[in-house]
Amino acid sequence: MRLGYIVFCILASTFYVSAQRVIGDDNTRTREITVLNDGWTFHRGEVIGDPSVADYDVSLWEIGTIDCSRKSECKETEWFRRGFDVDLTQNVVPGGRRIFFRFDGTVGDAQVFVNGHKIGCVAYDLDSWECEATDAINGDGRGNMIAVRIDDKSDSSRCDSGKRPLGNVSLVATNRVHVPFGGYNVSAACQGAQAEVCVRTEVCGVRNEELALVTSIMDSNTNQKVISSSAIELMDRTVEENGDTTVTVVQHLVIDNPRLWSPTNPSLYEAITDVYVWFRPKSKNPFGFSVAPKMLHSDVISIKFGIYENNKKDIKS
């Protein structure tokens, strides 16, 4: 019996809109993604002083979108700066918002600063990557400044003077309990008339709480739900009040009579996972009774994939 396997296609549609707010099925606010490709100032070459601080004089710098900055030559340094605000008040889960910056590749070694604090760095990397800025954000969430330094140390074989040194930049705001960048993976194997889908989800920011993950498989062509599965993760170990941890939940779902992907019939499925947190308030109401626990919708994430017949091993996202 021939085996069929899965190939995945992560759609980067969030990078082609100015802003995307991800809303849960109960209209709660889970995560917000805002693309920051415009409103930048940039400078080629070394500078005097520290351009990462908010009050640095950039009156002589160029102004435009990231796409306006094209490498004029190899082995040069470039600086990028942009102001931004974030809303820290819209928390579904107690514990504050988490703020991240996602970069769609950098042509050169990158260092990222927010309000003068270095929050991350990466060597020459054309893949997407992310760094957290939560601790560097101003207390009211307003008047922040991000600065990125790109040092191109490419040899002549990797040099391309026509490339953008900095790919698309997105600001991602999540709840404390959330799925991290790269923490959602799906794989599947098709045998006969069934395809078994394995969904592996990492959840960060978990304290002494109970998690509930609900995963649905949708047929992207018909927009109909194929199958749904849930998993409960009980945090039975003691976690410090402010000590966050990461848990991994694995779910297995079976699709009957799956439609296979082919160039002439590119059938796709979509896995959607909703993350819920059981929040148990410690306070009591004015009558002395304990407040009932709430099921809070903390995050939602999805990925599209296609199933096709092949003798190769599974390809994971």
pTM: 0.78
What six digits make up the tokens of 148?
């990125």
Look at the block and give the residue holding tokens 């194997």. 189
Q: Give mean pLDDT, residues 212-218.
A: 90
Q: Give mean pLDDT, residues 247-273.
A: 89
Average pLDDT, the chain: 77
Identify the pLDDT of residue 36: 92
CA 155 to mean position of chain CA atoms: 31
Alpha-carbon distance 220 to 271, whole Å? 10
Identify the pLDDT of residue 22: 44
Identify the pLDDT of residue 312: 36
Domains of the chain as residue ranges with CATH: 3-10+178-309 (2.60.40.10), 38-167 (2.60.120.260)
103 within 8 A of 15, measured Cβ to Cβ: no
Identify the pLDDT of residue 157: 47
pLDDT over 90 percentage in the chain = 29
pLDDT tens digit sequence for 115-170 = 999 999 988 767 889 999 999 999 889 999 999 998 876 554 455 555 667 888 99
If we measure between CA atoms, which residue out of 257, 277, 117 comes closest to residue 205?
A: 277
Identify the pLDDT of residue 237: 45
